[in-house]
Amino acid sequence: GDSVTQMEGPVTLSEEAFLTINCTYTATGYPSLFWYVQYPGEGLQLLLKATKADDKGSNKGFEATYRKETTSFHLEKGSVQVSDSAVYFCALGGTGGFKTIFGAGTRLFVKA
Amino acid sequence: SAVISQKPSRDICQRGTSLTIQCQVDSQVTMMFWYRQQPGQSLTLIATANQGSEATYESGFVIDKFPISRPNLTFSTLTVSNMSPEDSSIYLCSVGDKSTYNEQFFGPGTRLTVL
């Protein structure tokens, strides 16, 4: 079945460091790919999305490119801030029905 | 984007009791979902709430334990019945529409602790 695998956390970075959180997927058909973010004590928010191969999603300085050849959707940010501390979930959807498959989540800590 | 509210935001309950969680959306939506997020874990889909018919439950979740109502296109409830400490989790409501490629909008969650 469809699945999402993302790097285990926690990831601890200093402010202004470069961030990469790896995400790979297994899916039949042509899924849409998402990154969601969960700040402490809150629900999930959509951070960015890509709906077809080679699309790049971007928002708030974060980027991810839908790579069909490597079945990946890695999240990157050039310079993280303390306010980026949160849990990040990679997800896929649209392969059948309306279910979304979530990865395990990666907790990011950014130190001042 | 849809704005979703959940009530209560948190609760502490005794073993053997039941709690009903409400989810209200500010616009009519096609799909509504209920998830469970256990401490430090990812999201697990409990069921899809269908308007005008019975909810569709995922493997491992049953209607007797998690009855769901969806009387209209903007409102749903999830009841956690006969609770045990293992039910302590965050319960999240989300909505989606097939026209937006399965993008989902989430409520703030209900943090449940069962003693």
Whether A89 and B96 lie within 8 Å, measured CB to CB: no
Whether A49 and B101 lie within 8 Å, measured CB to CB: yes
Is residue B107 a contact partner of residue A43, using CB atoms and an 8 Å limit?
Answer: yes
**pLDDT exceeds 80 at position B1:** no
> CA quadruple A33, A37, A43, A46: dihedral positive or negative?
negative
**Which chain B residues touch A34 with a CB distance below 8 Å?**
102-103
- Measuring CA to CA, how many Å separate B61 from each of A1, A48, A52, B48, B68? 19, 30, 33, 11, 11
The dihedrals phi and psi of A83, each to the nearest 5 degrees, come to -70, -10
Nearest to B103 among A42, A49, A103 (CB): A49
Whether A43 and B104 lie within 8 Å, measured CB to CB: no
The dihedrals phi and psi of A31, each to the nearest 5 degrees, come to -75, 160
Mean pLDDT of the region B69-97: 94
**Sequence-ordered list of residues with C-beta below 8 angstroms from that of B44, at least 6 positions apart, any chain:** B35, B36, B37, B38, B58
Residue-averaged pLDDT of chain A:
93
According to the model, what pLDDT value does residue A20 have?
97
Which of A44, A45, A109 to probe by mutation at the B interface, max B CB count within 10 Å?
Answer: A44
According to the model, what pLDDT value does residue A82 have?
96
pLDDT tens-digit series, residues A80-94: 999 999 999 999 987
In angstroms, the CA B94 to CA B106 distance is: 4
In angstroms, the CA A27 to CA A72 distance is: 11
**Which chain A residues touch B106 with a CB distance below 8 Å?**
36, 43-45
Listing from the earlier edge strand, what are the strands of the sheet with A56-59?
A19-21, A75-77, A62-65, A56-59
According to the model, what pLDDT value does residue A95 have?
67
Mean pLDDT of the region A52-76: 96
Interface of B with A in 47-66 (CB under 8 A): 48
pLDDT tens-digit series, residues A23-53: 999 998 889 999 999 998 888 999 999 999 9
| Chain A residues within 8 Å of chain B (Cβ atoms) | 32, 34, 36, 42-46, 49, 51, 89, 93-94, 98-100, 102-105
Mean pLDDT of the region B39-65: 91
Is residue B94 a contact partner of residue B32, using CB atoms and an 8 Å limit?
Answer: yes
Please give the helix or strand (H or E) that residue B57 lies within, else none.
strand B56-57
According to the model, what pLDDT value does residue B98 have?
66
As a residue count, chain A comes to: 112
Query: Which one is predicted more confidently, B40 or A25?
Result: A25
Please give the helix or strand (H or E) that residue A35 lies within, else none.
strand A32-38
Mean pLDDT of the region B64-88: 96
According to the model, what pLDDT value does residue A28 have?
83
pLDDT band at B31 (very low <50, low <70, confident <90, very high): confident
In angstroms, the CA B14 to CA A110 distance is: 37
**Which chain A residues touch B108 with a CB distance below 8 Å?**
42-43
Whether B108 and A102 lie within 8 Å, measured CB to CB: no
**pLDDT exceeds 80 at position A67:** yes
**Secondary structure of residue B84 in the 3-state scheme:** coil
